């Protein structure tokens, strides 16, 4: 298998070092900075100011791997120009883990340097903008998390306009005797506080909360979004999935006994659904979303250079 470097924002640390292997390693986009430089970086990101090269991670210069995948979080055109200049003979892929509408104010995709391939997790965006498609991925093996079940349903994630829907689901659950716990954080560090917002927690804490729940709630950011991380957490950790994503029926792991679709399935049956057993899923249908298979799809389908 060809070798890859994944470039991520310094803040994107959910998978830690779990993706690192003989053919893949993860490198942060920015240098490890002192506080003064960190403040400068945040100010420049917020006000869309030019990013000087000294802020970028020098370990990304002259990479030996054949393929470089850049996650869209906190990416600016200045960085893509710098990365390509310092790796002129490498295949560079910009993979969008957010919708075009979410990132368009921070990243003008029309200005992506020639020769960099644009891929997305959203089939809608791929069809609309003629990008290359590759699904969401997950980095753990399929397993059952250890823990005592104390609640029926759990959600964690940034607000991104979803808080009102989550509060509505909370009321729905209360009326039906469903123990629902949600952990909503700010969309951005500069977002105004709301009393419902909580502080971010480590991914190990997220796993503990998933372990203690029968099901995971997934609320789409928009109709154009692709499969979310929450949907894959439910599958890989052997939990029920409750989602408003009607497109979930097209996912390889879909099973009506394991997936409850809000707006289609009767909410009067939600507690019964959560109390039911998780039905087995074909291993190959789960492993399709494993990070190794996700990487292999970049190799098997060489993207058209945009």
Domain match, 162 and 120 both: no
Q: Average pLDDT for residues 9-29, to the nearest whole number?
A: 84
Q: Is the pLDDT of residue 230 over 50?
A: yes
Q: DSSP secondary structure string, 243-302? A: ES-GGGGGSTT--TTTEEEBTTB-GGGHHHHHHSPPPP--HHHHHTTBHHHHHHHHHHSP
pLDDT, tens digit (0-9, with 9 covering 90-100), for 195-226: 899 999 988 899 999 999 999 999 998 888 88
Is residue 181 domain-shared with residue 60, that is, in the same domain? no
Query: When comparing pLDDT for 216 and 34, which is higher?
Result: 216
For residues 28 and 120, membership in a common domain is answered with yes
- Say yes or no: 282 and 294 in one domain: no
DSSP-assigned letters across all residues of 165-227: HHHHHHHHHHHTT--EEEEEE-SSTTSPP-TTB-----HHHHHHHHHTEEEEEE--SSTT---
* 146: in domain: no
Within a domain: 144: no
Q: What is the pTM of this model?
A: 0.89
Same domain as 117, residue 242 = no
DSSP 53: G
Print the domain residue range for 74: 4-139+290-300
Residue at 230 is within a domain: yes
Say which residue the tokens 């909360």 belong to.
Answer: 209
When pLDDT is cut at 50, 70 and 90, the band that residue 305 belongs to is very low
Kindly tell me if the per-residue pLDDT of 303 is higher than 60. Answer: no
Q: How many domains does the chain have?
A: 2
Query: Residue 110 in contact with residue 203, Cβ under 8 Å?
Result: no
Residues 168 and 282 grouped into a single domain? yes
Instruction: Give mean pLDDT, residues 108-121.
Output: 96
For residue 39, the domain's CATH number is 3.40.50
pLDDT tens sequence across 44-70: 988 889 999 999 999 999 999 999 999
pLDDT at 304 over 50: no
Same domain (yes/no): 220, 124? no
């Amino acid at each position: 298998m060809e070798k890859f470097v994944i470039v991520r924002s310094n803040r994107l640390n959910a998978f830690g070092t779990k993706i690192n292997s003989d053919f893949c390693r993860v490198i942060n986009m920015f240098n490890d900075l002192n506080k003064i430089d960190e403040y400068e970086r945040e100010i420049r990101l917020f006000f869309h100011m030019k990013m000087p090269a000294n802020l970028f991670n020098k370990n990304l210069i002259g990479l030996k791997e054949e393929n470089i995948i850049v996650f869209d979080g906190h990416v600016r055109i200045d960085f893509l120009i710098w990365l390509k200049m310092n790796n002129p003979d490498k295949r560079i892929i910009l993979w969008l883990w957010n919708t075009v509408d979410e990132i368009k104010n921070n990243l003008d995709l029309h200005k992506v340097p020639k020769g960099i391939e644009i891929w997305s997790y959203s089939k809608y965006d791929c069809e609309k903008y003629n990008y290359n498609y590759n699904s969401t991925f997950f980095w753990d093996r399929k397993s059952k998390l250890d823990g005592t079940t104390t609640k029926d349903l759990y959600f964690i994630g940034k607000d991104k306009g979803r808080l009102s829907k989550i509060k509505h689901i909370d009321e729905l659950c209360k009326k039906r005797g469903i123990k629902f716990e949600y952990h909503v954080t700010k969309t951005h560090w500069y977002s105004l506080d709301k009393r419902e917002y909580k502080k971010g927690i480590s991914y190990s804490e997220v796993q503990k909360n998933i372990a203690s729940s029968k099901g995971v709630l997934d609320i789409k950011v928009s109709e154009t979004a692709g499969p979310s991380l929450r949907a894959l957490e439910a599958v890989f950790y052997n939990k029920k999935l409750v989602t408003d994503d009607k497109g979930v029926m097209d996912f390889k792991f879909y099973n009506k006994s394991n997936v409850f679709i809000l707006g289609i399935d009767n909410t009067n049956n939600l507690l019964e659904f959560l109390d039911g057993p998780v039905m087995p899923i074909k291993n190959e249908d789960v492993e399709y979303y494993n990070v190794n298979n996700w990487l292999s799809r970049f190799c098997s389908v060489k993207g058209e250079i945009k």
